[in-house]
Amino acid sequence: MHGKALPYLLLMPATLFLCIFFLYPFVLVAFEAVTRDGAFTLDNFRTMAGSWKFPVTVRNTLLLAAIVVPIQLVMALLMASVVSRLETGRSAALYIFAIPLGISDLAAGLIWLAIFDQSGFLNTLLSHLGVVDRPIMFLGYQSKLTIFIAVALAEIWRATAIMMVILVAGMGLIPKEYYEAAEVFGAGPWKRFVRITLPLLRPSLQTAIILRVILAFEVFAVVAALGGTNLPVLMGETYNWQFTLQDSNVAAASALLILAISIGFTLFFLRVLRVPKEARI
């Protein structure tokens, strides 16, 4: 009897944690999103969608994810390949690449603010080189493209390591015999990467891409540090509805929209990168 109950006892702490800190808050948010003054209504979603900022926030969020995630994927694959091929110093290289993981979103935004600020590192460098006579306002309210680029660079620098760690773990599971056999038959490094590494890395790619896409839709602190309200994104507008406009119902509707987009993309990547059972390692 104790043997049968043991798995459930071991799962109980995690289950309680999920129920208290995830399921219960989700129920509260969902209830607030579809009610106002105690009555059921969809006016919260209409108010959210009717805001002049709504199309801009959706566009900025999707565009940021569409640009940042593919670049991070390519860089993570490159970094993971380098780390996996190292015979000596592999741990040191992995730790160096993973340093940004120890930095919070806001701290990363402030670091890049120190680079792009009017009195920051970039302006100082350009001034010393004689390229500019006076500091350039890279992050001014009229420089929306520069702000977008700065946020994209900060996100790429900050979060690529998340994907890299997952891919390094996945590459470590691929049997070396596959590469040795391919080398015997004359397959070059690129062909081995395309025909062996990528197909067998699909489960890790699936996890890394889904995790990174979800986090990309939740970008907030980096945008707040570098662009403020000059680059509205979905999570920023959720914060704005909750704390600036004091409308928790519309904020809850915005949060549900972010959840729905995240679930939609998760299901998409689960389908696209699905691994047949017979093809698993």
Residue 20 falls inside a structural domain: no
Instruction: Compute the C-alpha angle 25/27/31, nearest 5°.
Output: 115
Instruction: Compute the C-alpha angle 141/147/151, nearest 5°.
Output: 145
Domain span holding position 86: 29-279
| Under 8 Å between Cβ of 183 and 122 | no
Residue 15 falls inside a structural domain: no
Residue 195 falls inside a structural domain: yes
Would you say the pTM of this structure is higher than 0.85? yes
Residue 4 falls inside a structural domain: no
Residue 39 falls inside a structural domain: yes
| Under 8 Å between Cβ of 241 and 251 | yes
The answer, yes or no, to whether residue 126 has pLDDT greater than 70, is: yes
Q: What 3-state class would DSSP assign to 60?
A: helix
Residue 170 belongs to domain with CATH number: 1.10.3720.10
Interval 64-76: pLDDT, tens: 999 999 999 999 9
What does the block give as tokens for 75?
Answer: 């860089």
d(CA 94, CA 79): 9
Segment 250-258 mean pLDDT: 95
Residue 18 falls inside a structural domain: no
pLDDT recorded at residue 4: 79
| Under 8 Å between Cβ of 33 and 255 | yes
Residue 2 falls inside a structural domain: no
Mean pLDDT of the chain: 90
Share of the chain above pLDDT 90, in %: 61
Interval 91-109: pLDDT, tens: 888 889 989 888 899 999 9
Quickly state the pLDDT bin for 279 (edges 50, 70, 90).
low
Q: How many domains does the chain have?
A: 1
Residue 183 falls inside a structural domain: yes
Neighbouring residues of 99: CB distance < 8 A, sequence distance ≥ 6: 161
